[in-house]
Structure 1
Amino acid sequence: MLVFNPHNANYPEPINSFQKEVFDFCQQWKLGKTEFLFHTSGSTGKPKPIYLSRLSMIESANMTKDWLNLQEGDHV
């Protein structure tokens, strides 16, 4: 398990660009950032930037949890 401490840079160095993006996102989340920039996949054309709020991501995660009927202690 990786534990991120935004005030301590002593976490593992990312081994590829995807892992770096994940580490950066986790650090921004832990620091309380409220809006995040992502890009669409570009499956129908050029990838487009989209902004998602922290609240919308929390609500989406909660709706997914409810739809899958996940309970405390479940492992996914």
Structure 2
Amino acid sequence: MVSLPLPVDPPVEDFLPLSIVSLLCCFPFGILALIFSIRTQDGNTCGDRTRAERNSSMALAMGVASVVLGLLFIFFTSSIQLAW
């Protein structure tokens, strides 16, 4: 009898590059994105897919929020300086 290997799910995306870039845009949300990215990697390592998926979605949300808030801050501060 030949035993077939069980299908292995690919690891959940951790969005680590986005988290690192988001540190430059809005530091508090960037730190949260980095923490959730690291927790996603831990979930992938331990084999806990549900925890990894939850942390991955939070890392993505915090990363995107950080970039958007950083760009809004840059836009508004530059428009205020132009108005003066």
TM-score by length of 1: 0.27
Counting strand residues as a fraction of each chain, which structure ranks higher? 1
Counting helix residues as a fraction of each chain, which structure ranks higher? 2
TM-score by length of 2: 0.25
